[in-house]
Amino acid sequence: MHRITTTRLKKMKQAGEKIACLTAYDASFAHILDAAGVEILLVGDSLGMVIQGQETTLPVSLDEMIYHTRAVRTGSEKALLMVDMPFMADATPAQALHSAARLMKEGGAQMVKLEGGSVLLETVKALAARGIPVCSHLGLLPQSVHKQGGYRVQGRDEASALEMIGDARAMQAAGADMLLLECVPATLAAEITRAVEIPVIGIGAGPDVDAQVLVLYDMLGITPGKRPSFSHDFLADSGDIPAAVAAYVQAVKGGGFPTAVHSF
């Protein structure tokens, strides 16, 4: 069975068909998500917090990302497999090429996700030139949580909003195949989605992006502590995990999630 490709996802954007994405960290959950029709599985460095119990994503290593990517790859057949570059694995274009090569060769990744805007333009160009699909992550950057002053909504003022729009266009021009916007105002996310031809994934970015992603453990209501305001506990409504994932996919594709309650 052939996996979903970046070409297929771009066609879905052009057709106005919503794309469902969730994080995955192991083979068993990957199988459930794949069977429910989730198009993109993101092996997120969020595993540092929800699996390892760390305070941030920063301690996660490249070897750990490869390990979890390999597990998710084994458990899935159809979904596109996107993987986070862990903190400082993309410090230079050369290092990013080395890290991405390992994620693809040893883990089975189809796409890598990088956190940051214009500072990573040369890195995105280098990866794209070598045939490595890239998702550019803008807005709230968990790897930059100390610099950004915590987990705060980004792009609220005109200057930062214009900068983010410029970064989105620049990343597309550099060869990025996808964008991810985290914790940005819904109106800004909608404007960015219209400004680029590549698919835009949102998390806390309103309903008008092309795709939605949540941390799996958040949407199942099992993450310790307070759940993010942009998430929803689908397990509480569904009774079991496969039904919860199916409900999430249906809500994303049917426009029932996210609502104004989950947006900024």
| Catalytically annotated residues | 182
With vertex at residue 11, the alpha carbon angle to CA 132 and CA 118, rounded to the nearest 5 degrees, is: 45
The gap from C-alpha 183 to its chain's centroid, in whole angstroms, comes to 12
Q: Among all chains, which residue has been given the structure tokens 């994620």? A: 103
- Return the bridge partners of 201, or none: 180, 211
Contact 84, 107 (CB under 8 A): no
Which DSSP state fits 134? E
Contact 106, 74 (CB under 8 A): no
Q: Among all chains, which residue has been given the structure tokens 């490869």? A: 66
Q: Among all chains, which residue has been given the structure tokens 């029709």? A: 37
Give the DSSP H or E segment for 202: strand 200-203
**170: its two tokens:** 């620049």
Distance set, CA 111 to CA 32, 114, 116 (Å)? 21, 10, 16
